[in-house]
Every structure is written in C-alpha cells, then in structure tokens.
Amino acid sequence: MSGIYIHIPFCHSKCFYCDFYSTPKLFDPMGYAEALKREFHLRHNEIDMPPGTIYLGGGTPSIFPEKALQAIFDFLPLEHAEEMTIEVNPEDVTDRFARFLADSPVNRVSMGVQTMNDQELKAIGRRHSSYDTSKAIERLRHAGINNLSLDLIYGLPGQTIESWKQSLTSVLNLRPEHLSAYSLMLEPGTRLWAMKQAGRLPEVAEEDGEQMYVMLCEMTRESGFNHYLQLLYSRISFAPQFFILGSHTLSWAWSIGSQLRRFIATCQPIKPPRLSIRRQIQSNHRRSYIGRTD
C-alpha cells in the first residue's frame, strides 16, 4: 500500500506549543491548491502503486475555503483510496462544513481537541472551548461522518492528574473511533519554550506525567480501545491506514506541499518502521512553493 500526505500550512493563529511549519495568514488558497496539483502531476510517477490512504494535514486544513478543498479533491487519485482523512479544528466545524465533508471523498476526520478543560486550552493558545468540541462532533455525526479521531495532549501547563482524568472521561464519553495522545513537548521557537526560558511556565512534574500516561492506557483499554502504535489508540476495525502504513516494510508515504516536517515521526510502532518519505520541490515560503511548481 502507498499513501499521500498533503500539507496545508495555514492556521488562524499559532498555538503556543506548535513548531510545525504554518502561517497565521490564509495566503491565496486557490493558488496553493493549484500548486499542489502541479506538484502532483510533476511527481505522480514516483510511486508505482495507487494510494490506498490520503491524509490532509497542517496547519489547519479546515480553514481552507470549500472551493479550494474541492480543487484538491478533484486532482487526487481516489479510485483505490479506502481512507481519506482531513484534520480539523472544532471552531471551524459548522453545519455547512460538516455536510460538505460528508458529501466529499473524506471518510475520516481528525480533530485537534488537546484537552476538555477550557483553562488549559487558553494556556496553550487554542481558540476553541470544550463546548465547541462537543458541538463539532455532534455536527459531524449528524452529517454522517462515522470515523472520528481526536487528538489529546497531556502534561499541559497547569494540568493536574484529576483534570487529565476529567478530560479523558469527557473525550471517551464522546465515543470517538480513534485517539491520538501525546505528552507535551517543549520545542525551541515556540511560545511555551520562551515562557520556560523566562521561568514563567508551570510545568507538570515528571512523575505526574508518567501517571497521566498510565491512566491513559488503562482508561482507553477499559473503553475498548486497542493501543496499536506508540501514541495511538483505536477501536476494533478503525485503526487508520495512514498510520499503519508506517509499520509496514516497503511502504511509501508520498508527501506534497510547502515545507513539510517529519509528519511520520509520530507513527512509531513497538519496533521502528522502515518507512521512506519521498518529497521534493517544497519550500518554507508559500510564494516560493507556488512559484517553484510552475
């Protein structure tokens, strides 16, 4: 099996923990979609097997106009794709957008929740609330999306073992098909890193972080989740193909878009995978990327 990862580098704003390449300005979305199309056609013969899984990540693909997203869907080779995932933020999921996704080739939605504690959300620069998360999931379910993945982070500034347990309980009650849960990493160049350097970051004690991880494993197992990769948990039959791809020898993840980071770094099985990521042409500037695909 092969897969395609498409990077959409635009965000409403930069989260305090994020060191992925992104920009808070929505720069020429139709121009960017056209550049992705040109790169795809320039490189489509690099792999000799049709993609079985496609992943739109970022950045925040859900802030892209529907017209630009449709332009991307239109050039993708979907004939053999069993799974197509798009990353969304809760605050972007309106009734209209949920219906658009349900009517599109997308059959899996990955949502950046991070925590169900509003105070913790503010501490990391997230724009949504716990209510927004619940409402977004309700809208997606009502539109017909039946494969949802929720991202969580533990070890957040000010987070306690009890608040983490409450977040996990709330998220599990929403009955997602998949969970991704990460320990907070403080990366140079992020706002949280600067706060730490200035002595203004209330960090979680290492032993508390370990207890949060143990709690995560226990509560997901009790709720019927399979811990199938290092950071990933799924219900039976809902393990996403894009992540499983990383654990198979001789599989290819083919990536297009502006300035990709090591997306597959989170896809670590118990034994390190042998995964090749093919990418060319990318630039760390949207104008340069669009120009270089001409």
- pLDDT tens for 9-63 read 999 999 999 998 888 777 789 999 999 999 988 888 877 788 888 999 989 999 9
Which pLDDT tens digit goes with each residue over 153-211?
999 999 999 999 999 999 999 999 999 999 999 999 999 999 999 999 999 999 999 99
| DSSP single-letter state for residue 45 | G
Instruction: Name the one residue in this structure whose structure tokens are 């999931």.
Output: 137
Task: Provide the whole-model pTM.
Answer: 0.86
Across the strands, what pairs with 88? 111
CB 139 within 8 A of CB 99: no
Instruction: Name the one residue in this structure whose structure tokens are 């073992």.
Output: 161
